[in-house]
Amino acid sequence: MSGTTLKTETLAAARSAKTVNPFWYKIRRNPLTLLGLFLLLLILLLSIFAPLISPYEPTKINIPERFASPSADHWFGTDEVGRDIFTRILYGARLSLGVGVAVVVGAGVVGTIIGAISGYFGGRIDQLIMRLMDIILAFPALVLAMAIAATLGPNLQNAMLAIAIIKIPVYVRLARAETLALREKLFVKAAVTFGISPWRIIARHIIPNALSPVIIQVTLDIGDAILLVATLGFLGLGAQPPTPEWGAMISIGWKYLLDYWWYPTFPGLALFLASCGFNLIGDGIRDILDPKANRS
Amino acid sequence: MLLEIHNLSVEFESMQDRVKALRHVSLSIDEGEIVGIVGESGSGKSVTALSILGLLEKNAHISTGSISYKGKNLLSLPKKEWQSLRGKEIGMVFQEPMSALHPTMRIGDQLAEVIHRHRSISYKEAYRQAIASLAEVQINDPELVARKYPFELSGGMRQRVVIALAMSAPPDLLIADEPTTALDVTIQHEVLKLMQDLAQKRGTSIMLITHDLGVVAQVCQRVVVMYAGEVVETGLTQDVLQSPCHPYTKALIGALPDLAEQGQPLSAIPGESPDLRNRPIGCVFASRCPISLPICQEDHPVLEPVSAGSLTHQVSCWGRNQE
Amino acid sequence: MRQIIAKRLAMLVLVLFGVTLITFFLSHVIPGDPARMMVGQRASEETLQEVRRQLGLDQPVWVQYFTYMKGLLAGDFGDSIRTQQPVINDLITFFPATIELALTAFVIAIVIGIPIGILSAVKKDTGYDHAGRFFSIAGISTPVFWSGLVGILLFYKVFNLLPSSGRIDLMVTPPPTITGLFLLDSLLTGNWAAFSNSLWHLILPACILAFAQLATVTRQVRASMLEVLSQDYIRTALANGIHGPVLLFRYALRNALIPTITVVGLSFGSLLGGAVVTETIFGWPGMGKYVVESIAFLDFPAIMGFTFVISFGYVIINLLVDLTYYALDPQIKE
């Protein structure tokens, strides 16, 4: 009977129906994110285990071996005073990663606080803060960073400060937008009626709930921050030699490009891979959170 | 037979699960017919329509069945042929007139582009004919309207433009997915009448998808009742509406003030629509059915004629002979 | 519409005002001794005192700002310590070279970026898409100074195809100055030698500079196209038989371009920043190279002058982009 055939068919279908694992589904659709993860882990591990990997010291001068081309002894060659470039890159990784994360997290924290204050109190404070942010954003990023770093004096800390200043407005806007929405929520209004001070409300209720877009933005910004610090270093406005910062290395190395190509090329490659890794991951995160997925 | 859908099953794959949206759907539409597809949201009416035009989303899989148009199996057609079919032989009108038209293109251009594509004439000539189309769908001052943008038109006017677009070839089959639902009640009647007249003039068949039995009664010669992705009853409109067999159809009619018996309370259907991810083994309506039998839980009914005398009136129900 | 323009112009003035405040702040207030900043580390004590007096450093800060603003409006940024010329003259000399480089890079980025973005969107999640997206991310992640160096290494040293520096060979006479853009001027005067030579020098730096902006353009076009392609009106068009190039270009792209223009306009800022580095690497005689040399000298008048001029230009560009956006969207026009 046709009824029985349908019944068996339905049972069989029910048994074989599989549920799709969400994690692998997403990764399968975006192998680039995986690549980013891999790159970052690689760099992280290399930087952490630098002393174990390389027998050389990053700042030890060794004139007889200056400008050695890449070989088994010196995988990436040596620079103008004989320092092993591979070693310097490994130690430089610690610097670049640390600096990149520090700058962006710093900007994120400060920006979120300012944005929450601006959004919560509104009125004149809000207007003032937003105009200030608009003005900062009116400058092309690198140009303003250069101006600030030049004014404050060329060293790594000032470069970090300059870049953090550049990055702050984005976080202020994000946090402000979230705050404006949160301000209207019931639990915040209730807190106000309980007489809780505005500062406490901002700290305990607003900021913790405003964090998620901020965190996403932080992951997206780290790659860019790393490049900016290195660029300032390249221009002589950031870390100064003999610090093994990638940008600073290139600031000296580039003049030797035609004769000793390895000197600027490998630090630059490291910069590229680090930035790429962060950007791939940031892109993947953004993709995962994107609701529009399926239209043909 | 113009269009014949046979045993069509469609599944949607998403991250967590598989939604089985259509299950063994069969229906047919003949030349010059107006057939109504009735059902509530989620019954699979739109999915059926989109399958005919090949406009399903990327994560949709057609697991069984065929769609036969003028003898050709659409599902095995290469993309290019499907593209030439759309609009030219099969047209579609969607539900939301507000978002259906291109927001930054003038009305006249939108129509002219489509006309230019379907009738082998120059763009200039197509524009002239576009204005004539606008007049045909009863838009006053067509030259003026042709120069406007969609946001300048009312919902009713936009839907008329959408109809003009869909009928521009003219197609042999027009699929209208809830064409009047988003419109004011006063306009609904006019737009329906317009579609009916145009179809008659051009000999176009209409597959009219709606949840409104009143619309079906007004315009359709045959009706197909769908529930949870399956066809539960089908037949001539007067047969199905006057002597409904499936409990779901009866409940639908009972819920309407016009068609219900006078003096009787309106009936609501208890329970919820089934979870399409885990289809029940038996009849899909069983959990909400007032006359559910033990067999309804275990075995799935098939679409069969109500009686020997009326082969066109078919129902998928174990209790069909209860009355 | 007019109201919108008026509002934007008011904002513009406010922002420019803010820009002057910041540059003033940076050049006069933060450094301990602005006079020292002005004359540089190597000047003598008398010069220092004289400059102090001239700068009116004995005046209160707001008077100093006022003097500063007066100077700005007259185009006076002071004299460069390095070249001993008025900074404004230096900037005018080097301006056209930077414009030529930036504009060419911009055009390249758009001409290549838009098709790649469209392709990526249409073939979403396929190999083409992944390649396009990787290309795009690579562009954003590549430090301009590195890609420039690699470019020189490959095309100059290894393949010996392109020159490594300069705007035109020493042996070739540059065209007479009409616009200051060598390509344009040589075309206008029919000077084929100058044209081809300039082009040959321009290609590599322009492409390197374009690479980063290409990434932004591609990304944005892809995102916008995906957004547009998922809209109802595209579905209507498909259902009516519109497909292929007509659908993509006439229906989808024109709407996708609207947010793209905004983003691309904003990214012009990073193009200007990138120009600084590119000019340094390629010895391109533009404002960027000028300011980098000034940095080495701690030549503050030059640095601040550059900052102001570039930022001013950037603000104007953003205003133009905003206005274009309003002009393109008919709904806002009404």
Contact flag B149-C254 (C-beta cutoff 8 Å): no
Residue C89 confidence (pLDDT) above 50: yes
Rounded Cα distance between A147 and A162, Å, is 9
CB distance B84 to C241 below 8 Å: yes
- Residue A2's pLDDT is 43
Q: For residue C170, how many other CB atoms are within 10 A of its CB?
A: 6
Nearest CA in chain C to A232: C277
Residue B90 confidence (pLDDT) above 80: yes
Rounded Cα distance between C163 and A272, Å, is 25
Q: Average pLDDT, whole number, for chain B?
A: 84
pLDDT average, residue stretch A209-231: 87
C102 shares contact with chain A (CB less than 8 Å): no
- Residue A106's pLDDT is 94
pLDDT interval class at A9 (50, 70, 90) = very low
Q: Which of B28-37, B75-84, C124-133, C295-304 has the highest mean pLDDT?
A: B28-37
A214 or C178, higher pLDDT: A214
Q: What is the ipTM of this complex?
A: 0.82
| Torsion B304-B306-B312-B317 (CA) sign | negative
Smallest CA-to-CA distance from B59 within A270, A25, C185, C256 is with A25
For A280, residues 6+ apart whose C-beta sits below 8 A from its C-beta are: A32, A33, A35, A36, A37, A39, C137
Smallest CA-to-CA distance from A179 within A122, A108, A110, A120 is with A120
In total, the C-beta contacts within 8 angstroms joining chain A to chain C are 158
pLDDT average, residue stretch B261-281: 71
Rounded Cα distance between C286 and A33, Å, is 39
CA angle, corner B26, sides to B25 and B29, nearest 5? 130
Residues 254-283 of C with CB under 8 A from B: 254-255
B295 or C278, higher pLDDT: C278
Nearest CA in chain A to C229: A295
Residue C87 confidence (pLDDT) above 90: no
Q: What is the dihedral of CA C222, C227, C228, C234, to 10 degrees?
A: 120
Residue matched to tokens 């957004």: C227
pLDDT interval class at A192 (50, 70, 90) = confident
pLDDT average, residue stretch B253-273: 67
- Residue B42's pLDDT is 76
pLDDT average, residue stretch A143-155: 86
Rounded Cα distance between A251 and A273, Å, is 19
C141 shares contact with chain A (CB less than 8 Å): yes
Q: What is the dihedral of CA A34, A39, A41, A42, to 10 degrees?
A: 140
pLDDT average, residue stretch C218-239: 88
Sort out which chain B residues have CB atoms less than 8 A from A10's CB and list them: 279, 281, 300
Nearest CA in chain B to A288: B15
Nearest CA in chain C to B79: C243
CA angle, corner C291, sides to C289 and C295, nearest 5? 115
Distance (Å) from the alpha carbon of A61 to chain C's nearest alpha carbon: 25
A71 shares contact with chain B (CB less than 8 Å): no
Which tokens go with B269? Answer: 């259907």
Please state which of the ranges B25-39, B304-318, C47-61, C183-197 shows the lowest mean pLDDT: C47-61
Q: Determine phi and psi for C291, rounding to 5 degrees.
A: -70, -35
Q: Determine phi and psi for C164, rounding to 5 degrees.
A: -100, -15
pLDDT interval class at C55 (50, 70, 90) = low
Tell me which residue in B16, B58, B300 faces A20 most closely, judged by beta carbons: B16
Residue A197 confidence (pLDDT) above 60: yes
Which stretches does DSSP call E strand in B213-275?
222-227, 230-236
- Residue A105's pLDDT is 94
Which tokens go with C304? Answer: 């601040």
pLDDT average, residue stretch B65-77: 86
- Residue A226's pLDDT is 93
Smallest CA-to-CA distance from C304 within C294, C316, C317, C318 is with C294
C333 shares contact with chain B (CB less than 8 Å): no
Nearest CA in chain A to B54: A296
pLDDT average, residue stretch A90-99: 89
- Residue B257's pLDDT is 65
**A274-283: buried (b, 16+ CB within 10 Å) or exposed (e) per residue?**
bbbbbbbbbb
For B246, residues 6+ apart whose C-beta sits below 8 A from its C-beta are: B225, B232, B233, B285, B315, B316, B317, B320
pLDDT interval class at C36 (50, 70, 90) = low
pLDDT average, residue stretch B13-38: 86
The reported pTM is 0.78
Share of chain C above pLDDT 90, in %: 5
C146 shares contact with chain A (CB less than 8 Å): yes
pLDDT 10s digits, A107-139: 999 999 999 888 888 888 898 898 889 888 888
Residue B10 confidence (pLDDT) above 70: yes
pLDDT average, residue stretch A8-29: 53
pLDDT average, residue stretch A250-263: 86
| Torsion B300-B306-B308-B313 (CA) sign | negative
- Residue A8's pLDDT is 47
pLDDT interval class at A3 (50, 70, 90) = very low
pLDDT interval class at A104 (50, 70, 90) = very high
pLDDT average, residue stretch C193-211: 87
- Residue C83's pLDDT is 78
pLDDT average, residue stretch C62-79: 77
Smallest CA-to-CA distance from A212 within A123, A135, A112, A294 is with A112
pLDDT average, residue stretch B122-151: 89
CB distance B16 to B63 below 8 Å: no
**Cis peptide bond prior to C115, omega within 30° of 0:** no
Helix, strand, or coil here: C145?
A: helix
In total, the C-beta contacts within 8 angstroms joining chain A to chain B are 43
Share of chain A above pLDDT 90, in %: 18
Q: For residue C160, how many other CB atoms are within 10 A of its CB?
A: 8
Rounded Cα distance between C323 and B172, Å, is 47
Which tokens go with B39? Answer: 């059902």
Sort out which chain A residues have CB atoms less than 8 A from C31's CB and list them: 151
